[in-house]
Structure 1
Amino acid sequence: MTFAPTRKQWPILVALMLIMLATRYHHIGNLLHLKDASMGIFFAAGFWLGGTFALPLLMLEALLIDWYAISMAGVSDFCVTPAYSMLSVAYAVLWYGGSWYARRHYAPKLATLVPLAAIATVSCVASFVVSNGSFYWFGGRYANPHFAEYVDRLARYLPSFVTVALLWIAAFAVAHAFALWIAAQRGAGSTRA
């Protein structure tokens, strides 16, 4: 990925990075009562910024936020295990889900909300299975991991994870629709002048 974002994509990238900073770093996110938007951001970034170097840049930002939170702000390092590197795969699943939707299904029509919901849901579930599964099976935090316990953890944590990610994706979709509406209003205003 060597392609730089376009002039129109840079503000989107900066906005997504600021949202990640505000929600992933829990001292700020809790103050604002916002859930971590990281997973929704990777899906939205794939949609808006696919084909650019934004994926590794966002991954680096997530890593730096985690490093700062753990080493400087006293956040627990419980989740930092050998499986932490699998977060890059979990992020990529979301990124490529958003990118695939943009290339194959997106049109500025309400009908494309159905494939958006389906692709976003599948991407979120797959991302969770990668991140949570790698932590459980390869993270070294559970002495005797077994399938029944993993299924229990999956049932306990998957709904919350997917719901938060999908709510952020829905918020980004609303922002996208609003931006299209503003652009259409400006276009209509310029044709009247």
Structure 2
Amino acid sequence: MPLATPRQQWLVGLILLCLLLLTRGQHFATLNLPSASWAVYFVGGALLASPLAFAGLFAGAVAMDFGLFSQGAVSDWCLTPAYWLLLPAYASLWLGGRLYARGHACQASALWRLLCCVLGASLVCHVLSSGGFYFFSGHFADASLANWLPRIAEYYPRSLAAMSFYVCLAAVLYSLRQGLALASREQRWQR
């Protein structure tokens, strides 16, 4: 499923980076879009073959977070030692996208595979990112598994909904692109 040409990969990588920057946290106060961070890494894993693309997206997110903090635009609430658990959390999303891409087929039955990959990867990401923040940020004095488990029900659905929205949007755009490419090939064969 990865895109065929390097030019396509660069274009999609740039689009994903822009989406990440536009929706990450409250960095752009005039835009109130749900965060696309999770979806960016999942879709990136599905469409971009190179692990360097993951590294570039992660570096872009880190540079933005720390850059805005150094300018006083955001607080240091999330910039704790737990912040670095975002690396394996986002990597789990990337790997979920790669897993989906390996078995991708342009048919309706592929939606079940997509759903399973999104749910599995997002749950691992949530456990690493939210659990990591809860247990290692230093903000929760009485951190315990019993106190953290209810937080999954509180925060995971919102993150999963945002990810699902963007992944569905990407799937629709990918399907449209595939349909247009097929129509173009058929036109060439008819000539």
**TM-score, L = length of structure 1:** 0.91
Runs of 4+ more than 2 Å apart: 25-28, 30-33
- Map of 2:16 onto structure 1: 16
Calculate the aligned-residue CA RMSD, in Å: 1.5
Displacement of 1:137: 0.8
Percent of aligned pairs with the same amino acid: 31
User: Aligned-pair distance for 1:151?
Assistant: 1.3
* Matched positions, count: 187
Once the two structures are TM-superposed, the CA of residue 73 in structure 1 deviates from its matched residue by 4.7
Taking structure 1 as reference, are residues 25 and 157 closer, same or farther at Cα in structure 2, changes over 3 Å only? closer
Query: Unaligned stretches of 5+ in structure 1?
Result: none
Q: Is the 8 A contact 1:47 1:101 kept in 2?
A: yes
Contact 2:45 2:97 in 1 (8 A): yes
Contact 2:92 2:121 in 1 (8 A): yes
What per-residue deviation string (whole Å, max 9, x for no partner) do you get for residues 41-83 of structure 1? 0000000113341011100001011112222252121011111
Deviation at 1:165, TM superposition (A): 1.1
Question: Which residue in 2 is equivalent to 1:46?
Answer: 45
Q: Please list the CA deviations of residues 69-105 of structure 1 after superposition, one character each: whole Å capped at 9, or x if unmatched.
A: 22225212101111100000000000000001111x2
Aligned residue runs from structure 1 range 129-140, under 5 A: 129-140=127-138
- Residues 99-130 of structure 1 deviation map (CA, whole Å, 9 limit, x = unaligned): 01111x20111110111011111111110110
Q: Distance in 2 between the 1:159 and 1:148 partners?
A: 19
Amino acid at match of 2:152: L
Give yes or no for contact 1:46–1:94 (8 Å, CA) kept in 2.
yes
For residues 169 and 124 of structure 1, what CA distance do their matches in structure 2 show? 12
Matching residue of 2:65:
66
Question: Who is 2:105 aligned against?
Answer: 107
Gaps of 5+ in 2: none
CA contact (8 A) 1:25 1:65 kept: no
Aligned to 1:37: 36
Query: Which residues in structure 2 correspond to 1:53-132 (within 5 Å)?
Result: 53-103=52-102, 105-132=103-130
